[in-house]
Amino acid sequence: MSEDIEELRAQLAQAEAEAKAAQAEAAQAKAEALRARLAAADHASAPAGDSSASADPAPQDPAPVPEPHAPLSPFAEGIRGAYSFERPSITLGALIEDGARLPGVTTSMPLSTVNRHLLVAGATGTGKTRTLQLLTEGLSAAGSSVVLCDVKGDLTGLSEAGSPSDKLLARTSANGQAWAPDSFPLELLDLGGLSVQFPGTPIRARVCDFGPILLSRALGLNTTQEQALQLVFSWADERGLELVDLADLRAVISFLTSADGKAELEGIGGVSKATAGVILRTLTALESQGADRFFGDPGFDTADLLRVDASGKGVVSLLGVGDISSRPALVSAVIMWLLADLFSTLPEVGDPDRPRLVFFFDEAHLLFADATKEFLRQVVQTVRLIRSKGVGVVFVTQTPKDIPSDVLAQLGSRIQHGLRAITPEDHKKLKATVQTFPQTDLVLDEVLTNLGTGEAVVTVLGEDGRPTPVAPTALWAPASVMGPATEQTIARLNASSSLMPRYADAVNPESAEEKLAARAALAEEERRRAEAAEAARKQAEKDAADLEKRLAKERAAAAKEAERAARDAQRQREKEEAARRRAAERRTRQVESVLGSVLRTAGREITRSIFGTRRR
């Protein structure tokens, strides 16, 4: 009995000590909140109005705060112990237990495990954007660089210190957050002029650096067409034809499909003319999405994403992508190009105390929609290996089901906002989401469907590499403006940008298009010379033939004339011969006549002398 009493006394003493500790923490939190309100009230440069309250996704009525003297439950004690890290970490928010917020128990994420990657998920309107902002602020404050995709421009507020309001301070006080306004260094980047919300430093990539696999993803090619494009890239590389912009690629494909390139096309692996034609048509569609302004020189150096400002804060590169839903393949391919380029250029750093750079991949489900196997393989490989370069990736989507299992397996931490289970398909997604979390006594399907805006279920990789217990969390509020920055701030950021002078103006170096054009001009000149030589040869042959004809004609005429002369001479000879014969005949007749006359006379005389009839 005495042992039971002693045990009860020991438990009472422990409970009283815990109550005092909780009371002290609550009092401290309240004091810090009041101190923040006083500092904000004295902040003369704070903008008028309630700029943060309008964009703040916090619930209208914060959950009740437990009495300061109430002891912590074993669950809360376990959460506090599991999320108490020795190394620096980013505080995520206050634990929610039985609908109440416990400001003395916070969840956090060690900076040393951010490069093991993170999934932020939740239905539309549950506060994912503000979670990204909170994480970005924590990373930047720790000296880590950040890359964010901004679709609507409402993350530009990171560059301006937030403005306190009763609603904001009520929320932060309920969460035990010592809120104070702060701003963070921001670099505005513009993907090919696609962002209409805010202009920024244009980023470009050379087509050859982008590569055929990522370009196939941007073009929406199937596996066969992707392989054909790889052969085209290889052919251009072997012949020193640099592919800088889409015009270069179009020129190469047009050459290969022309009469001059037919033999070349047949010699690079049997790429059909029909497949080449499909690629040309998809290039036109990609150009209509603004890709013709993205591909070119000067190519963006991804090392410029890893910077800190003079105060030691990591620079946040905000990539304006415009309406990502109208060009999901292009945007996702660009992000993967940035990651792949960093992977190929950054040195190995092992497991640093904080990440060098963190990528936030918003609307991540668009990355994997209709992706080829080769593209998915490259994504998985990059995500798996890039952590050794000190780079973390945050995938942001609605449910874990949107992420392929091979990629999801690489995401060590989860921040899951509320889900809505209305349709049968929603229930399937909810069930699949619950199965991605570690084992817990919480009824997660109920917890997830009852989370309010700005609340999430959290589990992260601890310092020892093991996942922490699942903890419903009321997330802390960002210190910067939760909404777009002013036009004056946007103009100031661009004017002070160190990158703008280097990348503002596009250049068009001598590359495949110009080389093929010069080659075509040379070929045309050679063709003209060949045609001229051929024409000259034919003319010479014609002249020779004409001369030969003329000579033959003259020879024929001469022969004919000679023949005629010969005939005339023959006739003349025959005529003369006939004349001689006639003359001879006449002479003969004359002689015969004379001789006959003489003979006749002599005969008469003889006859007369014989017969005496001679006249006397």
Domain boundaries, the chain: 6-203+302-499, 209-292
Alpha carbon distance 457, 281 (integer Å): 46
Q: Are 331 and 149 in contact (CB under 8 A)?
A: yes
Peptide bond between residue 298 and the one before it cis (omega within 30 degrees of 0): yes
What number of residues does the chain have?
A: 616
What pLDDT, in 10s, does the model give residues 112-125?
A: 999 999 999 998 88
177, burial (CB in 10 Å: exposed 0-12, middle 13-18, buried 19+): buried
CATH topology for the 6-203+302-499 domain: Rossmann fold (3.40.50)
Q: pLDDT value at position 525?
A: 87
Give me Rg for the CA atoms of the chain: 50
What pLDDT, in 10s, does the model give residues 288-319?
A: 777 788 899 999 999 999 999 999 999 999 98
Q: pLDDT value at position 150?
A: 76
Instruction: Compute the half-sphere exposure of residue 32: CA atoms within 13 Å on the CB side of its CA.
Output: 17
Alpha carbon distance 444, 439 (integer Å): 10
Q: pLDDT value at position 12?
A: 54
Q: pLDDT value at position 300?
A: 92
Q: Of 31-45, 268-282, 458-472, where does the model show the most confidence? A: 458-472
Q: Are 498 and 486 in contact (CB under 8 A)?
A: no
What pLDDT, in 10s, does the model give residues 245-263?
A: 999 999 999 888 887 777 7
| Three-class DSSP labels, 575-613 | HHHHHHHHHHHHHHHHHHHHHHHHHHHHHHHHHHHHHCC
| CA nearest neighbour of 433 among 399, 467, 407, 457 | 399
Alpha carbon distance 565, 574 (integer Å): 13
Alpha carbon distance 351, 146 (integer Å): 18
By mean pLDDT, which of 51-55, 252-256, 413-417 is the weakest?
A: 51-55
Alpha carbon distance 478, 51 (integer Å): 13
Confidence band, pLDDT 50/70/90 cuts, at residue 44: very low
With H, G, I as helix, E, B as strand and everything else as coil, classify residue 186: strand
**Mean pLDDT (whole number) for 591-602:** 76
With H, G, I as helix, E, B as strand and everything else as coil, classify residue 393: strand
For the chain, helix (H) and strand (E) counts, in that order, are 21, 12
Alpha carbon distance 226, 144 (integer Å): 36
Alpha carbon distance 336, 330 (integer Å): 10
CA distances from 106 to 139, 286, 369 (A): 18, 47, 36
By mean pLDDT, which of 33-42, 364-373, 419-428 is the weakest?
A: 33-42
| CA nearest neighbour of 330 among 321, 317, 339 | 321
Alpha carbon distance 168, 180 (integer Å): 11
Alpha carbon distance 613, 600 (integer Å): 16
Q: Are 160 and 489 in contact (CB under 8 A)?
A: yes
Has residue 284 got a pLDDT over 50? yes
Q: pLDDT value at position 363?
A: 79
Q: pLDDT value at position 93?
A: 96
Q: Are 342 and 192 in contact (CB under 8 A)?
A: no
CA distances from 64 to 30, 87, 102 (A): 14, 31, 9
By mean pLDDT, which of 123-127, 193-197, 428-432, 451-455 is the weakest?
A: 193-197
| CA nearest neighbour of 467 among 498, 491, 436 | 436
CA distances from 489 to 163, 184, 259, 435, 605 (A): 15, 12, 56, 44, 170
Confidence band, pLDDT 50/70/90 cuts, at residue 15: low
Q: Of 16-25, 175-184, 265-274, 332-341, where does the model show the most confidence? A: 175-184
What order of strands is seen across the sheet that includes strand 186-191?
A: 100-110, 89-97, 471-475, 455-459, 413-417, 118-121, 391-397, 357-361, 145-150, 316-320, 186-191, 201-203
CA geometry: angle at 575 spanning 574 and 581, to 5°? 85
Alpha carbon distance 558, 516 (integer Å): 60
Q: pLDDT value at position 323?
A: 66
Has residue 75 got a pLDDT over 90? yes
Supply the mean pLDDT for the chain: 82
Alpha carbon distance 329, 211 (integer Å): 15
Alpha carbon distance 424, 96 (integer Å): 28
